[in-house]
């Protein structure tokens, strides 16, 4: 028979063990970036947010000035085998061609729907603008929104056989939420179409429509009887890519970000605009290094080429996130 003291000691150890386990669970629950492996990438993000939110710190940034901008394609969701908006346009062309012989007979449309690489290569810029006009204009913004929603509800990504908006990056969702919890105002600043993103990005990323900046076509006010609408015209108005990103940030936001995330050379100027100023600044590049769980590509990729910005990251000390090694999971459905 065990002594009273022995039993008490066992009880105390058991209680201590329970307390330790509880604390560990609580700490894990409090980890704002649970899908990021512990390491330099995660640590540098936590350190930056810590210092700009610590009142009295020389690096303190008032809450209203904590502007964070995120590229979308390849930074918040996947962009392979083609930008998802191109998949949308091709699917839309199929629908239109099925009901309109003029569209079905159009040479550019035939080239695109053939899937033939040589024919596609011959489409050129004029052909591309023709496709954009056919698929992204001639209806109201509200009607286009309905078309995008319907596409997302039915289309499936060829590799993952899931709706395209499920291919968002879980670690980046956590980063967006973590920044917002720390007083940052998060914006999407994408080369993708603003009207293509607004139907789904608010729910996916927790950013309201007015915090989404993107490329756009010209639009026109129309009032028919008592029914007003904003009509999408077949003319490109603004390309929010490369040097267009800081231009779009200045126009829509009107102040410089202190935090920005991108993944390609199209984000280079946004990252420069964010970091080449006084005060604490943070730039992050998502490097696609995971051929198994996602894709691996950088300097030679026609989609999301990352070349100049990768060199610049080394020179400027921007964080290059190694998807394969820094992220525990890629997509929410892996959890």
Shortest spacing between CB 251 and a copy of itself, in angstroms: 6
Per CB under 8 A, does 221 bind a copy of itself?
A: yes
- How many Å apart are CA 212 and CA 221, to the nearest integer? 21
Q: How many Å separate Cα 253 from the centre of its chain?
A: 18
| Minimum separation from the CB atom of position 194 to a copy of itself (A) | 7
Site for a copy of itself in 191-210 (CB under 8 A): 194, 198, 208-210
Alpha-carbon separation of residue 317 from 61, 66, 272, 310 (angstroms): 20, 20, 12, 10
Residues that contact a copy of itself, how many (by CB under 8 A): 35
> Residue from 44, 157, 252, 280 that binds a copy of itself (CB under 8 A)?
252
Q: Which of residues 227-246 bind a copy of itself (CB under 8 A)?
A: 227-228, 230, 243-244, 246
Among 95, 128, 137, 253, binds a copy of itself (CB under 8 A): 253
* Residue closest to 84 by CA, chosen among 246, 216, 196: 196
Residue given tokens 């267009």 in the structure block: 244
Using the rule CB under 8 A, which residue among 113, 123, 141, 303 binds a copy of itself? 141
Q: Least distance from C-beta 197 to a copy of itself, angstroms?
A: 9
Considering only residues 216, 263, 264, 289, which one is a binding residue for a copy of itself as defined by CB under 8 A? Answer: 216
Confirm if 96 and 286 have CB atoms less than 8 A apart: no
Q: Take residue 231 and report the two structure tokens written for it.
A: 């009509």
| Cis status, amide bond into 81, omega within 30 of 0 | yes
Choosing from 73, 79, 130, 269, the residue that interacts with a copy of itself (CB under 8 A) is: 269
Q: Please, what is the minimum distance in Å from the beta carbon of residue 187 to a copy of itself?
A: 8
Question: Checking phi first, is residue 63 left (phi over 0); if not, alpha (psi -120 to 50) or beta?
Answer: alpha
Segment near a copy of itself (CB under 8 A), from 74-82, 176-184, 248-256, 306-314?
248-256
Report the residue number, 195 or 326, with the smaller CB distance to a copy of itself.
195
Select from 185, 281, 287, 305 the one that contacts a copy of itself (CB under 8 A): 185
User: In whole angstroms, how close is the CB of 278 to a copy of itself at the nearest point?
Assistant: 11
Alpha helices in the chain (DSSP H): 4-30, 40-52, 84-99, 101-105, 107-114, 117-121, 124-136, 141-154, 170-181, 194-197, 201-205, 244-252, 268-275, 308-316, 323-326
Q: Tell which positions 47-86 bind a copy of itself, by CB under 8 A.
A: 64, 67
Which residues does 91 contact at the CB level (< 8 Å), separation at least 6?
A: 151, 155
Q: Provide the 8-state DSSP code for 3.
A: -
Nearer to a copy of itself, 133 or 247 (CB): 247
Q: Quickly count: other Cβ atoms within 10 Å of residue 101's Cβ.
A: 9
Q: What gap in Å lies between CA 96 and CA 76, rounded to an integer? A: 30
C-beta closer to a copy of itself: residue 11 or 62: 62
Instruction: Write down the least CB distance from residue 282 to a copy of itself, Å.
Output: 16
Locate 160 and state its tokens: 């993952």
Minimal distance, residue 132 CB to a copy of itself, in Å: 17
User: 282-294 burial, b if ≥16 CB within 10 A, otherwise e?
Assistant: bbbbbbbbbeeeb
User: Euclidean distance between the first and final Cα of the chain, in Å?
Assistant: 48
Structure token pair of residue 304: 């999301």
Does residue number 105 form part of the binding site for a copy of itself (CB under 8 A)?
no
254 lines the binding site for a copy of itself (CB under 8 A):
yes
Q: Which residues bind a copy of itself (CB under 8 A)?
A: 64, 67, 141, 185, 187, 194, 198, 208-212, 216, 219-221, 223, 226-228, 230, 243-244, 246-247, 250-255, 269, 272-273, 276
């Amino acid at each position: 028979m065990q002594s009273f003291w022995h039993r008490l000691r066992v009880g105390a150890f058991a209680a201590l063990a329970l307390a330790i386990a509880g604390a560990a669970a609580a700490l894990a629950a409090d980890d704002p970036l649970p899908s990021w492996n512990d390491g330099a990438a995660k640590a540098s993000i936590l350190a930056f947010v810590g210092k700009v939110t610590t009142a009295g710190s020389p690096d303190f940034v008032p809450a209203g000035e904590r502007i964070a901008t995120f590229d979308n394609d390849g930074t918040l969701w996947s962009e392979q085998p083609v930008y998802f908006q191109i998949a949308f346009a091709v699917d839309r062309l199929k629908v239109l061609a099925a009901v309109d012989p003029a569209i079905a007979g159009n040479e550019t449309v035939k080239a695109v729907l053939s899937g033939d690489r040589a024919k596609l290569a011959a489409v050129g810029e004029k052909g591309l603008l023709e496709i954009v006009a056919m698929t992204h204009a001639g209806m109201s913004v509200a009607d286009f929104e309905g078309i995008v929603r319907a596409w997302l509800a039915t289309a499936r990504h060829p590799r993952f056989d899931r709706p395209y908006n499920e291919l968002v990056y879980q670690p980046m969702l956590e980063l967006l939420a973590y920044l917002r919890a720390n007083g940052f105002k998060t914006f999407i600043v994408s080369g993708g179409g603003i009207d293509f993103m607004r139907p789904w990005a608010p729910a996916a990323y927790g950013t309201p429509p007015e915090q989404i900046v993107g490329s756009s076509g010209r639009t026109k006010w129309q009032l028919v009887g008592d029914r007003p609408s904003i009509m999408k015209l077949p003319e490109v108005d603004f390309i929010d890519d490369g040097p267009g990103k800081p231009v779009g940030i200045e126009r829509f936001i009107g102040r410089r970000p202190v935090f920005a995330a991108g993944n390609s050379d199209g984000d280079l100027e946004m990252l420069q605009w964010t970091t080449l100023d006084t005060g604490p600044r943070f730039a992050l590049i998502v490097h696609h290094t995971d051929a198994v769980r996602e894709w691996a590509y950088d300097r030679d990729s026609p989609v999301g080429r990352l070349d100049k910005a990768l060199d610049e990251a080394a020179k400027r000390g921007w964080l290059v996130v190694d998807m394969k090694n820094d992220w525990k999971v890629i997509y929410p459905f892996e959890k």
